[in-house]
Amino acid sequence: MSITKPKITDVAKYAGVSVSTVSLVLSGKGRISDATITKVNQAIETLGYVRNNAAANLRSNTSNLIGLVLRDITDPFYMGITAGLSDQLEKQGYMLFLAQSGNDKNKQLNCIQSMIQQGVAGIVFCPVREGTQACLDLIKHANIPAISIARADINANMDYVGPDNTHAATLATQHLIAQGHRHIAYLGGTSDSLTRAERIGGYCSTLMQYGLPFKNEWVVECDRRQQSAADAAEELLNKHPKITAILCHRSATTIGAIYGAQAAGKTIGKDNYIGQEVALLGFDDAAEAELTTPSLSFVNTSTKQIGQQAALQMIRKMQQPQLPPQRIIISPTMILRDSA
């Protein structure tokens, strides 16, 4: 036996008002007395009426959906951003419409196209290299705002919210130098990563500033798996035993490097015992960092704050479409524990 859902006409009849009055109460528009608003809301609650937002959006040519296209929804970096975006947007009556594109520029374009077809009011996305302009053209044609939350800033003609990768690497390298380290390596990431390029830029320029050696063989690539980081760290330290500190590209790299350093016969910690101990300092703090042995130090940028600021900028752009593109940079902070 099916149960008929109450309609807006049922609410109007129950409250003894017109359908247009109910619509005005639901939208929060128009001059409606408090007594009438109370009466309509009581009718809605009594009947269990649920507003059809999709139909309302079509009628008013508005939407409460914001599209979010991520490369990898399991990446802790993007999980934090999603939480920040969702928290801030929900306070303003908006909901996230989430999709994952990987590093495939065609898939990202398809995700954005699908979101536009679903009538989103704006799109937040992490651009894939060589695919950004096509996405921007599509979004511009739809006449909705877009914000990049890329790890690296790759287009000056769009709004951007993200970390300062170069400054984060500078802070990390300066800290290690202040601890007495003179042979510092960089582990992780791949050569096609703009984030890695920015961080290595900060690392390299800081070494040069202090008159310390920068050696290409001390800059080692590896993928995001902890096992890859462990293998790469072990090989690096066996080949170059003078290295006393390693900057690690991501949290998983830092965790993997613990096992690689130990396999190479090193202990890990803050004290620089030549030939014996190595310091590990990573980027992007992780929940498990306090539970490892030793606990891990990081240069961290709040991903939740990135998401919150992206949400606020999206709302500003929806309200004032003519605003010029803004670059909002979230400053890094040092989280010092036992590994560095």
| Residue that the structure tokens 């929900």 belong to | 90
pLDDT of amino acid 58: 46
Strand-pair category, 327-330 with 219-220: unpaired
Contact between 167 and 212 (Cβ < 8 Å): no
pLDDT under 50: residue ranges of the chain: 1-2, 58-60
Contact between 99 and 111 (Cβ < 8 Å): yes
What's the pTM? 0.80
pLDDT of amino acid 47: 84
Helical (H) or strand (E) element with 280: strand 277-283
Residues in the chain: 340
Q: Sign of the C-alpha dihedral, residues 287, 291, 292, 294?
A: positive
String of DSSP letters for 140-160:
HHHT--EEE--SS---TTSEE
pLDDT of amino acid 56: 55
Q: CA–CA separation, 120 vs 105, rounded Å?
A: 20
Question: Rg of the Cα trace of the chain?
Answer: 26
Q: Is 302 helix (H, G, I), strand (E, B) or coil?
A: coil
Whose CA is closest to 99, among 108, 90, 91? 108
Cα–Cα–Cα angle for 110, 116, 120, nearest 5°?
130
* The token pair that represents 59 in the structure block: 């009628």
Domain boundaries, the chain: 8-51, 65-164+304-331, 165-300
Q: CA–CA separation, 169 vs 333, rounded Å?
A: 11
- Of the options 1.25.40.10, 3.40.50.2300, 3.30.70.360, 1.10.3720.10, the CATH number for the domain spanning 165-300: 3.40.50.2300
Percent of the chain topping pLDDT 90:
62
pLDDT of amino acid 314: 96
Helical (H) or strand (E) element with 300: strand 297-300
CATH number for the domain running over 65-164+304-331: 3.40.50.2300
Whose CA is closest to 78, among 156, 151, 1, 3? 151
Cα–Cα–Cα angle for 27, 33, 38, nearest 5°?
75
Average pLDDT, the chain: 89
* The token pair that represents 217 in the structure block: 């063989």
Q: At what angle do helices 19-27 and 34-47 cross, to 10 degrees?
A: 100
